Amino acid sequence: MERTLSIIKPDGVRRALVGEVIKRFEQAGIRIAAMKMLHLSREQAKAFYAVHRERPFYDSLTEFMSSGPIVVMVLEADGAIQKNRDLMGATNFKDAAPGTIRHDFATDIEQNVVHGSDAPATALTEIAFFFSALEMV
Ligand code: CMP
C-alpha cells in the first residue's frame, strides 16, 4: 500500500466541491487514511510550496493557497500517487483529460481545485508537513 497527500485547495472548498472530490477518490478504491480542514497562513503556504520559490507564480500561488480553508487528506491505495494523479488530470486544466477533476472543475492553471504529491519522496515530505503518525488510521 502506498500513501500520498491530497489537498482540496481554497477554490475547491469555496465552490463546495469537497464531497465531489472525496466521492471520486472513494469510487476509485482509494482509502482515506487521514483528513482535516485548515486555513494555511501565508508563511505556511510558502513553506509547503518552497520547491517553487524561484517560479514566477510563487507569490500568487502562496497568496491563493492561504486565501481560505483547505482540506488535506492522506490517500492510501496500491499505486496511490499515480491513481491520484490520474484522477486529478494535468496541472493545466486545458490539458486535462475529460472526466478528471481538473478538466471538470478547474477554472485556471493556478486555481486547479486539487494538489497531489508527484513522487514517493515528495509524498513522504508532504504528508509529514500536515500529519503526525498518530493522526493516520
Ligand atoms: P500543484 O499541483 O499544487 O503544484 C504547484 C501549483 O502551482 C500548481 O498545482 C498550480 O496551482 C500552480 N501553478 C503551476 N504552474 C503554474 C503557472 N504556470 N502559473 C500559475 N500557477 C501555476
Q: How far is the CA of 54 from the centre of ligand 1 (A)?
A: 13
CB 69 within 8 A of CB 13: yes
Q: How far is the CA of 87 from the centre of ligand 1 (A)?
A: 17
Domains of the chain, residue spans: 2-135
Using pLDDT thresholds of 50, 70 and 90, give the confidence band for residue 37.
very high
Q: Is 115 a catalytic residue?
A: yes
CA distance 9 to 38: 10
Spell out the CATH class of 2-135: alpha beta
pLDDT tens-digit readout, 54-70: 999 999 999 999 999 99
pLDDT, the chain, mean: 98
Distances (CA, A) of 84 to 8, 56, 58, 122, 127: 12, 26, 23, 14, 14
3-state helix, strand, coil in the chain (%, to 5): 45, 20, 35
Residue bearing the CA closest to ligand 1, atom 14: 110
Using pLDDT thresholds of 50, 70 and 90, give the confidence band for residue 18.
very high
Which residues make Cβ contacts (< 8 Å) with residue 137, sequence separation at least 6?
33, 34
The single-letter DSSP state of residue 97 is P
pLDDT tens-digit readout, 99-127: 999 999 999 999 999 999 999 999 999 99
Pocket of ligand 1 (CB under 6 A): 52, 57, 61, 91, 109-110, 112, 115
Using pLDDT thresholds of 50, 70 and 90, give the confidence band for residue 27.
very high
Using pLDDT thresholds of 50, 70 and 90, give the confidence band for residue 22.
very high
The pLDDT score that the predictor gives to residue 54 is 98
Secondary structure (3-state) at 5: strand
Using pLDDT thresholds of 50, 70 and 90, give the confidence band for residue 90.
very high
